[in-house]
A and B are shown apart, each in its own frame.
Chain A
Amino acid sequence: MEAANSPTLSEVRKTPLNALHRRLGAKMVNFGGWDMPVEYPATGGLVAEHKAVRGGVGLFDVSHMGDIRVHSGRTPGGALAAVQHISMNDASQLAIGQAHYSAMLYPQGTFVDDVIVHRLGEDDFLLVINAGTRQKDIDWVRQNTKEFDCVVEELSDDYTQLAIQGPRAAEVLQKLTDTDLGRIKNYWFTHGTVCGLKNILIARTGYTGEDGFEIYVPSDQATSEQVWAKVMEAGREFGIIPCGLGARNTLRLEAKMALYEHEISDTINVWEAGLDRYCKMEKGDFIGRAALERARSALKRTLVGLEMVERGIARDGYCCCNAAGEAIGVVTSGSPSPTLGKNIALAYVPPAMSAIGTPVYVEIRNQKAKAQVVPTPFYKRARKAAPQAVASSTAKTL
C-alpha cells in the first residue's frame, strides 16, 4: 500500500483548532495549503461522520474559509455597486440579514471562485470564499473594486468558522444561544450571543445539503477550543461527532454542490456548470456578463450526475467515453455515496449525452465501466412540510 503524500508541515497553514484536531487523533491532509482534518478515526471515521450529518448532527472546523468585507466608502451605495460588479447573482435583491450563493467571474465568464454573499447592512457585505483561492480572491476583489467608493477588508484570520450540520443542528445550537433559531430561515443570518460571546454571526448555511448553521467566533485558540467543546457537549445527547473534509466532500457531492477546481474553475463557464439560476443576466453589467451572453448558444459540455452501473468507482479526473470507446468527457468528482450505497460522480459530457439514462463509460485503470446519467442532486433532504403544503396535499386526497 502506498500512503498519501504527507505535506511538509512548515509550508501549510493551520486553523486555531489545529492542535485540538491532532489531540483528537484526526487524520490530517494538506487541503489547498491548509493542514486540515480529513476524518477522525477514533469517533468512527468518514462514513460515520457522513451518516451523523444526514441523520443527526456533526461539527466541522471550516476556519480555512476566507472572509472579505466590502462596505461603504465616503458615500453610501459604493459597496453594493462593487459587489454587483464582481459577482453574478443580484445582491440588490438581498435583504439585510440574508445571504445567497454567487460567484466571481473572469471576463471570459469562467470562475474566479464561488462565494456566499451576506448582506450585513444596506451597503455592507460579507463574502465567504474558498480556502485554496483566498489570496487570489482578495487580490481580485481589491483590483476590481478600485473604481468604486467602497472599503475592502480581509477578515479571514479574525474568525474561527464552525459548521454545525444535520437535522439536529438547530437543537444543539439553540442550547448555546438566546437567539431564536427558529426565526432564521435557510440562507439567512443574524448576530447573537453564543456561548456567552456577544455579537456572533449565526448563519443558516452549510455545504452538506442538510439543515445547519455556520457560526463565526473570535479566532484565538482558547475561545475557539471553548466554543468547540461547548458545541460537542450540547450535541452529546444527539450523538454529535467531529467531522472532517472527507465527509464534507461526500456530503456536498451527494447534494451536487460545486467544488472549486472540480466542477468550477477558470476554464469552466457558468452555463457549463449549470449554475444559471445564480447568474442574473438582467441585473445590469458585471464582470463576465458579455462573454456569457455570447457563450449561451454554444454550449459544448454540461455537468451531469452519473451512477455506476458496473462495478467500479469513478474518481476525479477519470476519462468518460461513449459506447464506441471515444473520449467524450471527464469526471470532476466521484465517490461511493454513503447515503445511497451507490457509486456516484459528477462529470462534464457533451449536451447530446446529458439526457437521463444515457450510458457513459468511465475509464477505470484501463477498463471501461458502465455508468448512466441520473437526475441530480443525488440526495435532497426532506423539508418539513409547510402549513400550506400540508393543506394542499390534504385537499388532493379529499
Chain B
Amino acid sequence: MAYPANYRYTNQHEWVDAKGDVATIGITDYAQHELGDVVFVELPKPGTKIAAGKSFGTVESVKAVSDIYAPVSGEVVEANGDLHNTPEKINSDPHGAAWLIKVKLASTAELNSLMDAAAYEAFVATKGKEASA
C-alpha cells in the first residue's frame, strides 16, 4: 500500500494529514500489518487535549494491545465513531476511512519534525530488513 505523499509520518507509525490548523491522525499500513486483525479501538472524546509523543488511545488486535502516540499537540475535535463497530477498517483502509481523530493543532511548526512519505518508506524498509535478518 502506498504512503500518501501529502501526509507526514512518525517513527511510531502514525500519520498526520494537516489542512490549515486541523490535522487528521491515523496509523500506517505498516502499523496495521504489524498488529494483525484489529478488533478494538479506544479513542479520546472531543475536547481532550493531546500532547506530541504521548499516548492518546489504544488499538487492540486479537493478540495484543498497542498504544497510539500523538504525532502533534492539540485538541481533539472529532473521533472516528465508525471504528467502534468496524475496527477491522483499520486493516483494510488505514490511510483513509480508518482515520482515528481530528485535532486542532496547537502549532503547525510541530509538523516540520515529522517524516515525509519518502523518508517514512525508507524507515520501514530498514525495519523489514531487521526482521528478516
Contacts and interface: CB of A to CB of B under 8 A. Distances in A.
A393 interface: no
Contact-size category for B: 20 to 34
Interface of A is mostly: mixed
Given A1-B34, A1-B69, A47-B37, A250 B12 contact: no
Contact of B63 (A1, A22, A38, A311): A38
Which of A2, A39, A250, A336 has the largest count of B CB atoms less than 10 A from its CB? A2
Interface string B77-102: 00000000000000000000000000
Interface in B23-52: 27-28, 31, 33-37, 39-40, 42
B36 A41 contact: yes
A45 B132 contact: no
Given A1-B31, A1-B34, A313 B40 contact: yes
A340 interface: no
A339 B7 CA distance: 38
B122 interface: no
A27 B27 CA distance: 19
Contacts of B132: 22
B65 interface: yes
A3 B64 CA distance: 10
B58 interface: yes
Contact-size category for A: 20 to 34
B26 to A, nearest CB: 10
Which of A22, A38, A313, A365 has the largest count of B CB atoms less than 10 A from its CB? A313
Contact of B35 (A1, A6, A47): A1
Contact of A335 (B12, B27, B31, B62): B62
A2 B58 CA distance: 10
A45 B36 contact: yes
A4 interface: yes
Given A1-B27, A2-B69, A41-B33, A46 B63 contact: yes
A336 B14 contact: no
B111 interface: no
A3 B67 CA distance: 9
Contacts of A46: 36-37, 61-63
Contacts of B12: 1-2
A370 interface: no
Interface in B105-131: 130-131
A249 B14 CA distance: 29
Interface of B: 12-14, 27-28, 31, 33-37, 39-40, 42, 58-69, 130-133
Interface of A: 1-4, 6, 9, 22, 27-28, 38-39, 41, 45-47, 246, 249-250, 311-313, 315, 335-336, 338, 365
Q: Which 3 A-B pairs have the closest CB atoms?
A: A1-B31, A1-B13, A47-B37
25 contacts: A1-B12, A1-B13, A1-B35, A1-B59, A1-B69, A2-B66, A2-B67, A2-B69, A6-B130, A6-B131, A27-B36, A28-B131, A39-B63, A41-B36, A46-B62, A46-B63, A47-B37, A246-B36, A246-B63, A250-B63, A311-B40, A335-B62, A336-B40, A336-B62, A365-B58
